[in-house]
Chain A
Amino acid sequence: MDSRERARLTRTHVLRTISGAGLGHVGGDFSVTDILAVLYSDVLRFDPANPQWPDRDRFVLSKGHAAVSFYTTLAMSGYFDLDELTSFAAEGSMLNGHPARAKVPGVETSTGPLGHGLPVAVGMAIGARIRGQQWRTFVVTGDGELQEGSNWEAAMLAGHRSLGNLTLIVDRNRLQQGARTEETNALDPLDAKFEAFGWEAVEVDGHDHEQLRRELTRTHDKPLVVIANTTKGRGVSFMEDLAVWHHKVPSPEQVDAALVEIGTSS
């Protein structure tokens, strides 16, 4: 599926799923949507019929609160039926508020508490090296999440070992749950921080599929961080760049208006 169409459908399912369940993190779901769409349309090698295929590329969504975007992506990629999304957060569903490896096919590692994904991804990349295998590891973190120290322990090790088979995409929407990252505990200059840790750093527009595709499909000798400048709530004018939409649930009227804006008539 074309990544643009995939992104439109993802946003559509996210709106309906969160509205139906009465909970979710729509702002972060929408900032990461285009990144997930490009990864699953054009970058990752995987086999939904065989989720444990040893040579698959590994993908880790460290910002586990963007679960609905991720679940939608996995369903559209064939890991499970799209109808399963209607069970999101319902009693006994495999789709709880944060992705769990033991429950959901296609989820490589459980996330939710922040700062867990990058260390696990570094372990995956070291594992591929030890085994002499060519698959690659991709991990998406939020930006506020980089305030967790465990990320920098992992970043240091990845740089030390020159893990060219590891790519980190930072969903740089500049908002954390309560306020702007730069007002809370500033992250800039993010590229210089990673470069100092032995990484190659590039900045892209995180909603420009061509830019994302170019950086995510090329080879690199050092671990690569793609700082993807994004907008929280991207695609819906009344949600964009507002901290309140971190986990606010849209009303039915807001869902209808949002669907029109993203190109899906309700």
Chain B
Amino acid sequence: MNAVTMTDCRKPFAETLIELARQDERIVAVCNDSVGSSNLGEFQTLFPDRLVNVGIAEQNMVGVGAGLANAGLIPFVCGASPFITGRALEQVKVDVAYNRSHVVLCGMSPGFAYGELGATHHSIEDLAWLRAIDGLDVVVPADARQTAAAVRWAATNNGPSFLRISRTPVPEINEREDTDFKPGTSETLLIGSDATIIATGTMVWRAMDAARQLGNEGVSVGVINMASIAPMDEAAVVRAAHTTRLLVTVEESVPRGGLGGAVAEVTAHYSPVRMRMLGTDTFAPTGNVEELTRHFGLDSESIAATVRAGLA
């Protein structure tokens, strides 16, 4: 087996942001004392006047972002995902989404990426909270390539968006050349006839591993990378519900209202099908990322086991 390169997606995030900022002087970054954790150090060195560090003040950070957009700038507002969402949720709703502001909210290190730091620092509710907000595009890239594509899209999308950027290293999920991101679309990575795994973000490569294991056992499993949580590619969900008899959703977040809930809304409306939803259904116990991945049944062996049990 070839050595697999694992990438912290904050790296392609920062590289792409810098590439865009060189081309367009309207691009600015806003952060809450998170120059390091948002990987904005090089941006700050290159564009010191275009990095607005508001200090530890997330409500103000999101409001300032909306004001910068009003002034004709394109702000990428960066903070640890639990705080930019939970702490500033009303600013996200009113100042960004209701205003239809071109603000790019960047939730760094979401899910349980902060591992042992504990549930206060985990951002597992963000997808459910944000998916409920009208007009806010919610995007969870699965790898470095998709992260770069999502950043480029968000810079030109004339409206509010949220990018969920993980620090937990992930491999490239395939060799695809297409580097455009389009909201409301998905990537079918594998086509199966027995079950389909719909995964997002850091869970996509694990879903691919699970599908390969099951394929070796003669179980035909499809995999969809659902990076666009809102709007969602409903047609892909319906297609999977029609062609396979089990859907398993996998996410590093709460399925109630998250990816699992979103997929279930589609299937309940158009094509009821048996489902299993994997995610973080409780506050996490103490543990590192790998330990928590196993605790919540999100490692590839556990995903495969859920598919097997669901098909039985």
Select A58's contact among B49, B60, B70, B94, beta carbons within 8 Å. B70
Report the Cα distance A57→B91, complex, angstroms.
Answer: 23
With an 8 A cutoff between CB atoms, is A193 at the interface?
A: no
Interface-centre pick from B60, B69, B75, B98 (highest chain A CB count, 10 A)? B60
Asked whether A120 lies within 8 Å of B28 as measured between CB atoms, the reply is: no
Residues of A within 8 A of B49 (CB): 130
Inter-chain contact B66/A120, CB cutoff 8 Å = yes
| Interface residue count on the B side (C-beta < 8 Å) | 29
Contact for A126 among B52, B57, B72, B98, CB less than 8 A: B52
Q: Is B73 an interface residue (CB 8 A)?
A: yes
Is residue B11 within 8 Å, beta carbon to beta carbon, of the partner chain?
no
A residues 105-133 near B (Cβ < 8 Å) are: 108-113, 115-116, 118-128, 130-131, 133
Partner among A113, A123, A150, A157 whose Cβ is within 8 Å of the Cβ of B70 = A123
| A116 with B67, Cβ < 8 A, contacts A131-B72, A157-B60 known | no
B95 is an interface residue with CB less than 8 A from chain A: yes
A154 within 8 A of B: yes
Residue A122 contacts which of B63, B72, B99 (CB distance < 8 angstroms)?
A: B63
B70 and A116 form a contact (CB under 8 A): no
Nearest CB on A from B125, distance (A): 20
Interface size on A, residues (CB 8 A): 34
Q: Is residue B59 within 8 Å, beta carbon to beta carbon, of the partner chain? A: yes
Residues in B neighbouring A124, C-beta threshold 8 A: 67-68, 70-71
A45 located at the interface, meaning its Cβ lies under 8 Å from any Cβ of chain B in the complex: no
Q: Does A153 contact B (CB under 8 A)?
A: yes
A120 to B100, CA, bound (A): 14
User: Shortest CB–CB separation between residue A66 and chain B, in angstroms?
Assistant: 17
CB-based contact B68/A123 at 8 Å: yes
Chain A residue with the shortest CB-CB distance to B103: A123
A123–B50 contact, CB under 8 A?
Answer: no
A118: chain B residues within 8 A (beta carbon): 63
Cα–Cα distance between A122 and B65 once the two chains are bound (Å): 9
Contact, CB under 8 Å: B59 / A126: no
- Chain B residues in 8 Å Cβ range of A48: none
Give, as a whole number of angstroms, the nearest-CB distance from B137 to chain A.
Answer: 16
Instruction: Given A123-B66, A149-B59, A154-B60, decide whether A112 and B94 contact each other with a Cβ distance below 8 A.
Output: yes
Question: CB-CB contacts of B54-95 with A at 8 A, as 1s and 0s?
Answer: 110101101111111111110100000000000000110011
Contacts A120-B63, A149-B59 known; list 20 others, CB within 8 Å: A113-B90, A115-B59, A118-B63, A119-B67, A119-B91, A120-B70, A121-B67, A123-B67, A123-B69, A123-B75, A124-B70, A126-B52, A126-B71, A127-B67, A127-B72, A133-B71, A153-B54, A154-B63, A156-B57, A157-B60
Q: For the complex of A and B, list the 3 residue pairs with the smallest distance between their C-beta atoms, beginning with the closest.
A: A123-B67, A127-B71, A119-B63
